[in-house]
Amino acid sequence: MIELTTIIDGKALAGEVEAETLERAKKLANKGIVPGLATVLVGENPASQMYIRLKHSACSRAGIRSENVLLPESSTEEEIIAKIEELNLREDINGILLQLPLPEGLNPQRAMMSILPEKDVDGFHPRNMGALLLGAERLVPCTPLGIIYALERLDKKLEGTEVVIVGHSNVVGKPLAAMMLNRNATVQVCHVFTRDLAEHTRDADILVVAAGVPGLIKKEMVQPGAYIFDVGINRVGDKTVGDVDYEEVSQIAGAITPVPGGVGPLTVAMLLRQTLNATEDQTKDQQ
């Protein structure tokens, strides 16, 4: 009997999270508490503008009040930090997100570190990253969290599982490796300097690809039955494609995320969840 590949529907899973978040937000609203998220957008990058719209639209569906702070492309790091510090002081703002990338010449590290750890719903502050490495997860990067959530919903056991991550960014690869280790998986992290990538990817029961290279992962590089999470978002001609050759790999994978419609919606959904987590933590005395 031929087993069909499970298509991991990120939109459907995100819808579940939105519904759960809305119920939590309603309970807070009954106590006079409205979760608030502020996004900070510097410049007019079209892709960033689209992502901001998606996040604010999701907030409106999930009972979260959101506002976007738009700063000109000519802003200095000091001006960005000053605006973030204003948001830090506002009691009606429970989460702050700095939309990346920043305009050329600006280093995002200082600005991101100026966000209060308890309002850092992207999970990038060193204190939150440190807690993650110590196994005390609270606010963590949203894309890895979305992958973990999907695996839990699929009832995929992580303990003892071979996980291979292609890409070692601070946004996906490194935090996801820590989250998998926290769940007792065996983890390999590959990157541009890895020799014979296929030798590693064929080991994977769970393969996560976040390399930014269209079609990098081919059928012969994947263990049959593996769970594949494609984090890549690449424009090829007029199409959006991932880092995995979907047509080939979906023939043998046990489960796979499409691009678009896979990891992306889950990432936004985790932002909503973490905004609620942050709000609940900050308003304990009012509940």
The answer to whether the beta carbons of residues 207 and 228 sit under 8 Å apart is: yes
Q: Examine the residue annotation and report whether 99 is marked as an active-site residue of this protein.
A: yes
Long-range contacts of the stretch 215-220 (C-beta < 8 A, 24+) = 215/241, 215/243, 215/244, 215/245, 216/166, 216/243, 216/244, 217/166, 217/243, 217/244, 217/245, 217/249, 218/245, 218/248, 218/249, 219/245, 219/248, 219/249, 219/251, 219/252
Note whether 130 and 154 are within 8 A (CB).
no
Q: What is the DSSP letter of 94?
A: -
User: Could you give the CA distance from residue 90 to residue 50 in angstroms, rounded to a whole number?
Assistant: 26
Residues comprising the chain, all counted = 287
The verdict on whether 55 is a catalytic residue reads yes
Asked if 282 is an active-site residue, the reply is no
Coil, helix or strand for 264? helix
Distances (CA, A) of 249 to 12, 103, 143, 152, 181: 22, 36, 22, 22, 26
Place of tokens 């993650």: 132
Of 83, 99, 120, 245, the catalytic one is: 99
User: How many CA atoms lie less than 13 Å away from 131 in the CB half-sphere?
Assistant: 14
What's the DSSP call for residue 103?
A: P
Q: Of the listed 83, 119, 120, 122, which one is catalytic?
A: 122
Type of residue numbered 46: P
* 101 preceded by a cis bond (ω within 30 of 0): yes
Chain Cα centroid distance, residue 42: 20
Q: Which residues are catalytic?
A: 55, 99, 122
